Structure 1
């Protein structure tokens, strides 16, 4: 008899990060990485799934055509009641398989290239400077999350999509609820419907009066030609609006907190003007923090073997990007340490394979501008509360802090 045969004997997933080590993946995930094979875990509803925690195993699973991202497939792990509740909705393209995933994704790739992100850099710098100006004007203390980390990427994605930034309290509130794994399914369903209605109305208004933005272009070039339905465009917009600000905002806030805990690393980043040094530092923060925590789930559509473990068609798989990013295969030298001189190239913070994050170039640009600008503008930046009083988003699919009181 093995633990794999009895769900009641299996560890639970997800688990919270330890309060004494809030930047590290849960200890169990790191222990599982060191064992042979894969770990099986029990989910909230009593179902079980394989948890993939090793760097090479994650890359193998995420690039295997026998593994599906389609949210409608039986056996797909549901990490919360709300996830189970929304199985009848049309998934965004990231929760579809090729060729449909690739068909929809290709409609967006030209807007998220490295060249496009570089062209946006001056605008990102302007928005960062404006947010810092407002913080300084109001004076300390400030909540770095709501006063800086959230406004910057929210404004960028709102401008890109053509969403009125004045509506940011609504779409940020919706995003928080949709990512909160502790909420009842009914509340998440109502939030999803309200958010969808808002975006559908916005799309309708752009059909009547197009603007110079991504949603207007997709309406003209894809919806009017029949390549995309309006509902698919709404699903696309919802995904880009949430992913376009939540992950970056939480990396800015959590990354600043991590640097405040490592003043020598902070000084190194603050005092450099070298773009290559800044870029390397941001890659290390992305690796070390890995805020995309409980998002990447898959299901086997055929039998295959990974890490010597036989995976059967219908088996669910949960990919732990934070655990994979602490693997010595990726970084042999002190993978559990924050070191902005590390070569973290090849990290998994943006996933891997055909579903790798579409917006990663834009996110890198925002982070490379926002964090160094903050540190230079406020060289005496410090926590306004004891570190032990900082609260973390343990119940969220995207990890971070709930607020970050700072002074200078």
Structure 2
């Protein structure tokens, strides 16, 4: 049945990131209810009182994410912003449409290619092993956030972007301020200002003394080649470094919880830690199962279009959910079950889809493959040191994260 533009005759739900206490890894329960209902595309009320369309199904998600008639430009009137801080007209290349977006995309694709990221595997392996060595040396207890979840991504980004490990906590705290739906416009502006000042210093250092890192290459090819301005490079470093840090930390922490909740899968990943093909597939299943970005892909319809039988008018906002669409039972059998041998695991939407698909996905894949094949093999008796339901989950951020996670091993 094809719907018109009339309002669906159901109460408009409020946007939420609140998870079920008994299943903190699953998306908020209301989104599964909507996905399995007769109207899986319906309006949702967000923070500013507007009511964009919510997309929960897999195929419809991919349509919205890949169709150029859905704009990613947050400066357009009616765009479904994530919070008050996003009212700034300043954009990164992530919020540009093609053809404006394409030169940036090509530059990132070249320097964050699968081959280049694979070449970093030995360095990533050493970082992971060194952090585990430090935990073991201090005894059988640790905070997986402070001692592993934060430093591992920070050190890896240090290799890639030339960011000193000493600055990793600052990046996480400031990025989380920008992510929080409770942050005021002033909070977000302050965090952005501090991050931008630091990124500007990094760029200035590379201008004075180029290195074999992404920032130096972008200065030469991006700024020097006329693809972007120096100011845009600074903004790109801020956006991508903070996003890459938060998502990697989240995948480490929630990946550990997922395995502890599924001891058969934990045993399997320990036993097969040297099976590269299995680890690669298991990592994709972890991305599907966790999909840590909570705010979905935000878009604005540029013309009237039909999505899943629902007419969406030009000028109406759309939020397509990464996490819930990756648990669509029409695409994934028994989608709420963690199955490290799932054949279709790589079809997930955790990295988005289309021209705005995550530029850092190759880095994320190698990073998590190393973490998942190493952490549990070296700490096979890993366990939470506090009840799972009492962990300080941070649900109000763009990337789902935990503030503290004491473990024993």
Q: Shorter-chain-normalised TM-score: which range? A: over 0.9
How many pairs does the alignment contain? 403
Question: Unpaired runs of 5+ in structure 2?
Answer: none
State the shift of 1:368 in Å: 0.6
2: distance between equivalents of 1:256 and 1:164?
A: 26
| TM-score normalized by the length of structure 1 | 0.95
Q: Structure 2 CA distance, aligned partners of 1:388 and 1:312?
A: 42
1:66/1:303 contact within 8 Å kept: no
Q: Deviations over 1:202-237 (max 9, x none)?
A: 212221222221111211232234332111101111
Deviations 1:180-205 (A, max 9, x none): 11111111111101111211122122
Correspondences of 1:82-161 after superposition (within 5 Å)? 82-84=85-87, 86=88, 88-89=89-90, 91-161=91-161
Give the corresponding residue for 2:55.
Answer: 52
- 8 Å contact from structure 1 (residues 14, 294) kept in 2: no
Tell me, in whole angstroms, the C-alpha distance in 2 between the residues paired with 1:93 and 1:230: 13
Cα pair distance change 1:182/1:140, threshold 3 Å: farther
Is 1:42 the equivalent of 2:45? yes
Change over 3 Å in CA distance of 1:388–1:105 after alignment to 2: same
Q: Distance in 2 between matches of 1:57 and 1:226?
A: 36
CA contact (8 A) 1:7 1:46 kept: no
Runs in 1 of length 4+ with deviation above 6 angstroms?
A: none
For 1:13 and 1:4, locate their aligned partners in 2 and report how far apart those are by CA, in whole Å: 20
User: Equivalents in 1 of 2:59, 2:279: separation in Å?
Assistant: 27
Tell me if the contact between 2:279 and 2:372 (Cα under 8 Å) persists in the aligned partners. no
1:324 to 1:187, Cα distance in 2 relative to 1, 3 A: same
CA deviation map 1:108-148 (0-9, x unaligned): 21121111121111111000001111111122321112211
Distance 1:225 1:308 in 2: 45
Secondary structure of the 1:340 match is coil
Secondary structure of 2:43's aligned partner: strand
Partner residue, 2:213: 213
Aligned mates of 2:322, 2:258 — CA distance in 1: 18
Distance in 2 (CA, whole Å) between partners of 1:164 and 1:391 is 27
The CA RMSD over aligned residues, in Å, is 1.8
Residue aligning to 1:62: 65
* 1:370 paired to 2:335: no
Map of 1:165-314 to 2, 5 A cutoff?
165-272=165-272, 273-314=274-315
CA contact (8 A) 1:154 1:244 kept: no
- Structure 1 residue 29 and structure 2 residue 31: aligned? yes
Structure 2 SS opposite 1:42: coil
Please report the TM-score for the alignment, with normalisation by the length of structure 2. 0.95
Residue range with higher mean Cα deviation, 185-194 or 7-16: 7-16
Please name the residue that 1:388 is paired with: 389
Q: Return closer, same or farther for 1:298/1:29 CA change in 2, 3 Å cut-off.
A: same
Match of 1:188, SS? helix
| Cα distance change of structure 1 residues 8 and 263 upon mapping to structure 2, 3 Å threshold | closer
Give the 5 Å matches for 1:324-335: 324-331=325-332, 333-335=333-335
Aligned to 2:21: 19
Contact 2:16 2:28 in 1 (8 A): no
